[in-house]
Amino acid sequence: MSFRYLYFGILILILNGCASNKTMLPVTAYDTSQDINYDDLKNWASHPNKIDAGDAVSGQKEPADYSKSKVDVFFVHPTTFTEKEDTQYWNASLEDLELNKSTDEQPIKYQATIFNQVGRLYAPRYRQAHLRSYFAKDTVATKKAFNRAFRDVEAAFLYYLENENNGRPFIIASHSQGTTHSLPLIKKHIDGADLQEQFVAAYLVGMPVDFDQFDHIQPCTSAEETNCFTSWRTYRYGHTPTQIVGDHIVSTNPISWKLDGVHIDKSQHKGAILRNFNKVFTQRVDAHAQNGILWSHRPKFPFSFFLKTNNYHIADFNFFYVDVQENAKLRVKNYLSQFN
């Protein structure tokens, strides 16, 4: 085994990679024009009425208990459809059991579970666009791929509203491609609508989000604020990506939950969860939001010396797992206090 593959293997073990390396399905495997039946629990990666990966709680054998939850969390997972074979296959199939397993064992377990201590967790499966949709020159095909994926996410959200919500407050949480679809979802159905009254907050992570992304919903400026959104993209301290940066992009500090650009030392870090789901690494990650991105020094944990990348995208949530969890609890508490 070459050092290159050893390095990437260890990196995946450390950061809980979100990629599947299996063989692609044939191009004609399914019809993307058909609607998804979200009344069928198999089309939810996580749902309060089924046992799934979203029920996992770090450090305990018992699954999450939703019996006392007063709010819901609608979570849109990132891209797991990342195979590199040459194909015309732009969207994933919901019948792809191996891909579903990869989604469940990676972003659902290691990201969505942040919120199962906050409220009832809903995470739809959707015909996600292939990773190359972000880079391909065929803009017609990529637009169709993203539109197909968005329509699924939208359908799941509307099903949730009609059949599950019953007037309950809710949080929107997403990462990477999930955020790509959550932005138009919020814009279309929540921003300025009656539904905004039930909206606690959004965690729109892993993609650039402008300050003026919405007409009525503003970026959160403190840890306690509600009816607002947070967003960040994590890079190694000192590295600035070549594209999509600037003060017009929101960069929330996920330790202080402010937008003031103040560096927060790792001593205030509440906890990361990496490959070992039951191990919490506290006081390991610092955070400095500036120029539309979030900087963190390389944290110290087992094998972290192999972490040479400047882009910590894969760990946007995981580096701040407990910080996000505790913050979501606080925002829910403050939201509910308005009605007591």
Check pLDDT > 60 for residue 12: no
The model carries a pTM of 0.91
Per residue in 33-71, pLDDT (tens digit) is 789 999 999 999 999 999 999 999 999 999 999 999 999
For residue 307, what are the contacts with CB-CB under 8 A and spacing of at least 6? Answer: 11, 14, 15, 298
Per-residue model confidence (pLDDT) at position 46: 98
Q: State which amino acid sits at residue 60.
A: Q
pLDDT over 90, % of the chain: 81
Per-residue model confidence (pLDDT) at position 304: 74
Per-residue model confidence (pLDDT) at position 85: 60
CB 282 within 8 A of CB 270: yes
Check pLDDT > 70 for residue 156: yes
Q: How many CB atoms lie within 10 A of CB 302?
A: 14
Per residue in 176-194, pLDDT (tens digit) is 999 999 999 999 999 999 9
CA proximity to 107, closest of 235, 2, 18: 18
Looking up tokens 């400095």 gives 288
CA proximity to 125, closest of 94, 148, 171: 94
Per residue in 84-126, pLDDT (tens digit) is 665 568 999 999 999 999 999 999 999 999 999 999 999 999 9
Name the pairing type of β-strands 288-290 and 199-205: unpaired
C-alpha to C-alpha distances, 16 to 9, 11, 110, 318, nearest whole angstrom = 10, 8, 8, 9
Per-residue model confidence (pLDDT) at position 78: 98
